Amino acid sequence: MTTRRPIIAGNWKMYKTSGEAKSYALAFLERVGGVTEADIVLCAPFTALNVLKEELEESVVHLGAQNMSWAVEGAYTGEVSAAMLQDVACTYVILGHSERRELMHETDEMIAKKVKRALEAGLRPILCVGENLKQREAGEAQVIVQNQLKKDLAGLTEDALKKVVIAYEPIWAIGTGKTASSQDAGEMCTAIRFALAAAGPEAADVIPILYGGSVKAENIADLMARPDIDGALVGGASLDPVGFAALIENALKH
Ligand code: PGA
């Protein structure tokens, strides 16, 4: 079995101006600048990426966006392309976050086109999947997630699949303070790896699977101890550089 390198990614959502991002970067680098055992990623709003590129250049911190267009370029008012993200040093992009699925009505078909485009351009998609509370209570969580994976990753070659990162984010755990128990989260991540194996057995072994949903410095170690959880996608707890650095330290302790 492959040893997968952990990824701890912060999702700032719609928080922080470029000035705030600059002060964050300075404080954060002081604390995580020497971390070599994991990939640290900051997924910031588009408008903060340029300043982060300047502040974090040649550091261990990677940059990511929270969405992108499936088109290469053209008449798509308000959209941002993969090339534009690469221009501001992004190497990752979150795709299919539940807030975009629910609030912006993104469908699996749209997400699949974005995943394909990101991979063609050489960006690593962090594809978010996850069930809502009603679906979990109805015992449908695994089927929902398997369907999302099937549709969002449709048509990818095994080599392309190997560049994908999956984030399992149960919707009921996002921003609610309710984390899935490490056992439930671990079981779903194992089920995800199993489902990925149907598409590409070698890829399934190397694809990092992150858990997201109220991850904090206090619960990260338990989650990371699960064999199929390779990291975390962290919203609220990534907004403070000191707290996020402490969370990363705890993630790497075990
Ligand atoms: P949260 O958000 O950590 O604030 O729950 C996670 C996410 O939405 O990626």
The pTM score is: 0.97
Residue 128 lies in a domain: yes
Instruction: Count how many domains the chain has.
Output: 1
In a domain, 84, yes or no: yes
Could you tell me the residue range of the domain that residue 197 belongs to?
7-251
Distance CA 90, CA 69 (A): 14
Nearest to 252 by CA among 3, 7, 2, 1: 7
Q: Which amino acid is at 165?
A: V
Q: How far is ligand 1, taken at its centre, from the CA of residue 13, in Å? A: 9
What's the CATH number where 236 sits? Answer: 3.20.20.70
Token pair in block for residue 80: 């941002």
Band of residue 180 on the pLDDT scale cut at 50, 70, 90? confident
Tokens encoding 125: 């998609």
Give nearest CA residue, ligand 1 atom 7: 235
Measured in Å, residue 158 CA sits from the centre of ligand 1 at: 29
Average pLDDT of the chain to the nearest whole number? 96
pLDDT in tens, 103-116: 999 999 999 999 99
Those residues whose C-beta lies under 8 Å from the C-beta of residue 75, and which sit 6 or more positions away, are none
Residue 34, in any domain of the structure: yes
Out of 62, 97, 99, 131, the active site residue is: 97
Query: Of the residues 98, 215, 216, which should be mutated to test ligand 1's pocket, given the most ligand atoms within 8 Å of the CB?
Result: 215
Tens of pLDDT, residue by residue over 201-221, are: 999 999 999 999 999 999 999
The upper half-sphere exposure of residue 177, i.e. CA atoms within 13 Å in the direction of its Cβ, equals 0
With respect to residue 19, please indicate whether it lies within any of the assigned structural domains. Answer: yes
With b meaning 16 or more CB within 10 Å and e meaning fewer, what string describes 128-137?
bbbbbeebbe
Annotated catalytic residue 105: no
97 catalytic per annotation: yes
**Ligand 1 center to 216 CA (angstroms):** 10
Please tell me the predicted confidence (pLDDT) of residue 177: 85
Query: Has residue 2 been placed in a domain?
Result: no
Confidence of residue 119 (pLDDT cuts 50, 70, 90): very high
